[in-house]
Amino acid sequence: MTQTMKLGGKTPCNECPWRRSSPAGYFAEHSWEEYAQLARFQIPTACHKTVGEGREPTLCVGMAQMLNNSCSTPRDPAHAVEVAAAGKNPEVFRWLHEAAEHHAEANAKWLARLQGEVKP
């Protein structure tokens, strides 16, 4: 049995990739593809600011609010309770494709670097 991450608040951090005002292309140590898959399959995801040695990971508020904005309910009952508690937020994307469009240019650069076409 997995332990459910608890919600760390009701406001996503300023850099949260799910915020409409987030810096385009900022994904902490991950790629857009990783974030998109986690959201698409409603996998409990820790806020990037709460991950690390000695820290207690909390659920990413931005992703939880994006799921709520799009009326998506996780199948895991415990995760669904935490997501629902985050509520909706108009400052957070409603749909996955909106976030993808926001981060599109950075994604193209990231993919080009990955394919060796552009140097960092």
**What does the alpha-carbon distance between residue 92 and residue 106 come to, in Å, rounded to a whole number?**
19
For the chain, what is the radius of gyration of the CA atoms?
14
Q: What's the whole-model pTM score?
A: 0.82
Q: For 80-87, what is the mean pLDDT? A: 95
Q: What is the pLDDT of residue 54?
A: 84
CA 104 to chain centre: 15
Q: Is the pLDDT of residue 21 over 60?
A: yes
Place of tokens 């415990």: 78
Could you read off the pLDDT of 96-110 as tens digits, one per residue?
Answer: 889 888 888 766 766
